[in-house]
Structure 1
């Protein structure tokens, strides 16, 4: 995590969720069973049951199997087959949590599940998040659909880091945003899917199969629509840059397929119009680099573009790959799975953006497309035409006030380059506090991923999605390791003059308690260091991080140098009387450092504040000694 004045990012993110919940208007929620609609909003707890009443809660429907309340827990029993109890409302964005305990199982392959989209009657199709008692098996955790034909469509599987077994309480939580869902076990995300197929009326359910399972503290909470914000315990979102462009020809369907199989959460691609107005997936303004053709894309017709070979340039066995239209790309994602981070490349007219929106809607993909651009007018056009599409602003340098700009444009995400974010990592916490996600481009090294994880960013756009997905898995499955600490700013060994105002940046991981000192005095990560009050010479930052797996201590040093520019800054910032300030600046300009030192000492506490006078005199003496 990266620390700021207000504490760890993890703590701030919990507060952000509440803040976002208060600032988004709730929608109309349809209850199950034909009851009257009820209004709820993000942050509202729709279901909260601890079963202390001793009876089944009102509105809960035991569709099949034996369901009863025993000793303050709901107990479901299935000797064979699927047995379920339904409840709740249809929600597009929600968190479904429960404390789950296997009491008895027929065999380790038997399971229980949280139903994510289940009709009140229990009729198929329905979607569930499953956990086997033998949860460390390769399919110990699953996202799956029971189809109307009675067959299982298992879209995602993974192994839990420890067995559920019997007699053990486990905290299960599933966070759902439309077709996407995250699977959490005891606060750690272990799996994610983008393959849910949502109904218009399905609610929640609990399901048991070949087991007796007890449940407690069942909670369903509506969430704000911005599923781009990374929940507590979740890994970095993996965004495949131009598809898996390190392994396949960029911006092609084959690169998209490789990205999908690599475990990407999103595929990032670029769109531009052909001469006849058809949106095509291409990054460059010309086809020269990535095809066997030449010329500007806007000067070529769709027929000419479709005739080009977009694969041979990358490797011979990709010969024949074609430039996809946006419609073809979206159809592939809809039928085979995946979500699209779509960059509208460069400036587009209102009508050109309208054509892109038309394609997204005609392919029924508005719930699975996130639009970004460097061009602010293009984002304004998109918002006017399709307010349902989330927007991201790409930036090569940070704006003076990213939060204000995000609010003005209605952004779901602010997406800077890695280099830009590193200049001011504290902006991540500021954007999160405003409910805005941060997706960073384009980052391909594990060292940088670790640093960005520490900053608290939500996602990373990378040419190497398989490697990032694997890195995420290693972080999650490896458990909590020894605390990691990096002093990001000032950099170790940095030489700084008085006019610089570095932010104290400390990045930690696996840490619960972090103590920071500067030259032995308490310091606050995120604070701006005022170098005008420090002596010239070397200064030491010491960070001690303590976590479940031990303690790590790191020291970093920087040097404040005495130079002419810094000395001039000291005079200007000293608070001296105007006449004294003018006289001292003349001495700096003329290089009369000994005279300046004597002047500052003579007027200390009179025309020049004593603390400032002492530093000015010391730096002037040091410069005089240098000749």
Structure 2
């Protein structure tokens, strides 16, 4: 087992060299390229179509427009208006990917889309993720709904870093978790939404508008429910601490609005009960610091709390801001958009937790609330009362075994302080392996964000959500030098026979550490791959590069094929006894593949080395079955 890692590289060396070359295979320098699309670990594959059959797949319904399979691609034409083909089934958590090419467009504003929640009949309402051929426009990429009235509700839009144009394959992927979705273009997340309104039966679709578009490699894969885990190619999740508390009075609807407009993925707020049991949004145990009143929140009635000024302490123009109840906060998020990371502050009784759960359910926000607490018993109460709510454990210091505790409590996330994580950053990988996200609090500097990005954390709780969102955008545009990775050899999709001897070639840039695996086992770039030691079939190369600009992961595949020429090479290179080699070559020449397989197995460990005999037998049987 060999692992390849590159140690730290000085900033001056990076500036001079411009890139770090891990290996240049066979003396051939391969140009740096972008990452292939990355996603979550695959689960059950609901749809996998490459259209090699030459006909529309069974269960695919061309609702309108001209849809046909041509040269191994699905081609959809809409000379005018919007046309679609539906397929698949309803899924709450899934990744939908496809290779897409505009073949002809009426104009650059015309578009294609992946349908995320579309009835099989094509009836409205339905949700799509669109891409224009002129994708560099401000609305080049969109999340949008076609309403029952036939009107478009565009909830999110952004510009792509380059134009899709015509005649160019681009790889699109959308990861959906309930009402949330992430948009990936050629492996880079460019947009996220939390505004999807899901049906109970809508499936997937492909849509074209004023264009002819061809599709290949359409794949829909179920994902685990934990949408808090950050996929490869995605930026850090932005969590606004007490709202945008550096720009507005904390834990108010004003701070929530600023955080929402700043591009926050989650609003983090605190909840505690009033004297009469109404859950209010407040951090401190008393109202003294952030209002014009005094006293413990648990000693004040809801009427007394609503009379307090919660804004003037921060700035004059926030005079009159009120403490929101949890119900008011949730209603604002439901109506104006956003998700809530709700900290249940301090110890709560089961009845107090039950009241919080009651409010969340009454406001129809169970799919958009994530509960965290420092108090373990509070989390146990929440899990017992509302198993549908994801849970996070806040920690100022790391537990002896965070993974074991996460499993015991059924956590979706383990949320340590920055100072706690610095001492043991390897715990991030351990938690990820257990399917648990890591959200770090409370971090406001770009230097720390960069370090935490290197650790691979999923999200950051910050008082400065606008700055973190901007920092993320700079990374996605390459401003901070995200590592680049190219697997130069074997090429992605290559088919190798047993006689070939390719060098494992990997080229990286802006990387301090690089890990390479072949079929999950550590591998060393620059070394010759020996197909005589590999099983026939597909093999996967995975490269993960980490540097000051973040992390990039690339996955490619090649296939070892069984054919007579390669099998002859395998026999000749087998180190079998001369007589055995001669016998096997004669059987091969006569096309007696079944007898060759039987002979190899009979002589395994005798005249033919055991491992090689198994490969020879497998290839021979594969040829016999053709």
Please give the range of the TM-score, normalised by the shorter of the 2 chains. 0.7 to 0.9
Determine helix, strand or coil for the equivalent of 1:364: coil
Determine helix, strand or coil for the equivalent of 1:422: helix
The equivalent residue for 1:317 is 317
Contact kept? 1:414, 1:437, Cα under 8 Å: yes
In 2 relative to 1, CA 17–114 (structure 1 residues): closer, same or farther, beyond 3 Å? closer
Determine helix, strand or coil for the equivalent of 2:347: coil
The equivalent residue for 2:464 is 464
Determine helix, strand or coil for the equivalent of 1:165: coil
Determine helix, strand or coil for the equivalent of 1:272: strand
The equivalent residue for 1:75 is 75
In 2 relative to 1, CA 87–261 (structure 1 residues): closer, same or farther, beyond 3 Å? same
Shift of 1:7: 12
Q: Unaligned stretches of 5+ in structure 2?
A: 9-36, 485-507, 516-544, 550-626
The equivalent residue for 1:342 is 342
The equivalent residue for 2:176 is 176
The equivalent residue for 2:104 is 104
**1:515-530 → structure 2 map (5 Å cutoff):** none
Q: Does the alignment pair 1:52 with 2:32?
A: no
Deviations 1:480-500 (A, max 9, x none): 72759xxxxxxxxxxxxxxxx
The equivalent residue for 2:617 is none
Contact kept? 2:454, 2:546, Cα under 8 Å: no
The equivalent residue for 1:161 is 161
The equivalent residue for 1:118 is 118
In 2 relative to 1, CA 186–404 (structure 1 residues): closer, same or farther, beyond 3 Å? same
TM-score, structure 1 as length reference: 0.72
- Counterparts of 2:398 and 2:308 in 1: how far apart (Å)? 38
- Counterparts of 2:88 and 2:160 in 1: how far apart (Å)? 28
Q: Does the alignment pair 1:412 with 2:412?
A: yes
Contact kept? 2:238, 2:468, Cα under 8 Å: yes
Deviations 1:247-298 (A, max 9, x none): 0000000100110000000000000000000000000000000000000000
Shift of 1:399: 0.6
In 2 relative to 1, CA 4–52 (structure 1 residues): closer, same or farther, beyond 3 Å? closer
The equivalent residue for 1:92 is 92
Shift of 1:181: 0.2
Determine helix, strand or coil for the equivalent of 1:218: strand
Deviations 1:12-52 (A, max 9, x none): xx99954xx7xxxxxxxxxxxxxxxxxxxxx0000000000
Deviations 1:554-574 (A, max 9, x none): xxxxxxxxxxxxxxxxxxxxx
Deviations 1:539-559 (A, max 9, x none): xxxxxx89999xxxxxxxxxx
Q: Does the alignment pair 1:127 with 2:127?
A: yes
Contact kept? 2:140, 2:159, Cα under 8 Å: yes
In 2 relative to 1, CA 122–403 (structure 1 residues): closer, same or farther, beyond 3 Å? same
- Counterparts of 2:4 and 2:289 in 1: how far apart (Å)? 44
Shift of 1:478: 2.4
- Counterparts of 2:107 and 2:331 in 1: how far apart (Å)? 41
Determine helix, strand or coil for the equivalent of 1:342: strand
- Counterparts of 2:438 and 2:457 in 1: how far apart (Å)? 5
Q: Does the alignment pair 1:231 with 2:231?
A: yes
Determine helix, strand or coil for the equivalent of 1:428: helix
Shift of 1:511: 2.2
- Counterparts of 2:46 and 2:443 in 1: how far apart (Å)? 39
The equivalent residue for 2:260 is 260
The equivalent residue for 1:298 is 298
The equivalent residue for 2:23 is none
**1:577-616 → structure 2 map (5 Å cutoff):** none
- Counterparts of 1:6 and 1:376 in 2: how far apart (Å)? 40
The equivalent residue for 1:272 is 272
Contact kept? 2:474, 2:480, Cα under 8 Å: no
Q: Unaligned stretches of 5+ in structure 1?
A: 9-13, 22-42, 485-507, 516-544, 550-627
The equivalent residue for 1:383 is 383
- Counterparts of 1:4 and 1:267 in 2: how far apart (Å)? 40
Shift of 1:513: 5.6
**1:545-556 → structure 2 map (5 Å cutoff):** none
The equivalent residue for 2:502 is none
Shift of 1:323: 0.3
Q: CA RMSD in A?
A: 2.5
In 2 relative to 1, CA 63–16 (structure 1 residues): closer, same or farther, beyond 3 Å? closer
In 2 relative to 1, CA 236–142 (structure 1 residues): closer, same or farther, beyond 3 Å? same
TM-score, structure 2 as length reference: 0.72
- Counterparts of 1:106 and 1:239 in 2: how far apart (Å)? 41
- Counterparts of 2:91 and 2:47 in 1: how far apart (Å)? 12
- Counterparts of 1:94 and 1:295 in 2: how far apart (Å)? 48
Determine helix, strand or coil for the equivalent of 2:447: helix
In 2 relative to 1, CA 510–229 (structure 1 residues): closer, same or farther, beyond 3 Å? farther
In 2 relative to 1, CA 4–462 (structure 1 residues): closer, same or farther, beyond 3 Å? farther
In 2 relative to 1, CA 219–81 (structure 1 residues): closer, same or farther, beyond 3 Å? same
Shift of 1:86: 0.3
Contact kept? 1:16, 1:435, Cα under 8 Å: no
Shift of 1:477: 1.4
The equivalent residue for 1:441 is 441
Contact kept? 1:17, 1:435, Cα under 8 Å: no
Contact kept? 1:94, 1:223, Cα under 8 Å: yes
Deviations 1:205-236 (A, max 9, x none): 00000000000000000000000000010000
Contact kept? 1:82, 1:209, Cα under 8 Å: yes
Contact kept? 2:40, 2:232, Cα under 8 Å: no
The equivalent residue for 1:421 is 421
The equivalent residue for 1:511 is 511
In 2 relative to 1, CA 168–407 (structure 1 residues): closer, same or farther, beyond 3 Å? same
Determine helix, strand or coil for the equivalent of 1:290: coil
Q: Does the alignment pair 1:452 with 2:452?
A: yes
- Counterparts of 1:184 and 1:107 in 2: how far apart (Å)? 24
Determine helix, strand or coil for the equivalent of 2:121: coil
- Counterparts of 1:510 and 1:448 in 2: how far apart (Å)? 19
Contact kept? 1:16, 1:432, Cα under 8 Å: no
Contact kept? 2:38, 2:232, Cα under 8 Å: no
The equivalent residue for 2:612 is none
Determine helix, strand or coil for the equivalent of 1:311: coil
- Counterparts of 1:118 and 1:159 in 2: how far apart (Å)? 25
Contact kept? 2:39, 2:232, Cα under 8 Å: no
Determine helix, strand or coil for the equivalent of 2:304: helix
Runs of 4+ in 1 over 2 A off after TM superposition: 3-8, 14-18, 478-484, 508-515, 545-549
- Counterparts of 2:187 and 2:406 in 1: how far apart (Å)? 30
In 2 relative to 1, CA 153–246 (structure 1 residues): closer, same or farther, beyond 3 Å? same
In 2 relative to 1, CA 436–312 (structure 1 residues): closer, same or farther, beyond 3 Å? same
The equivalent residue for 1:152 is 152
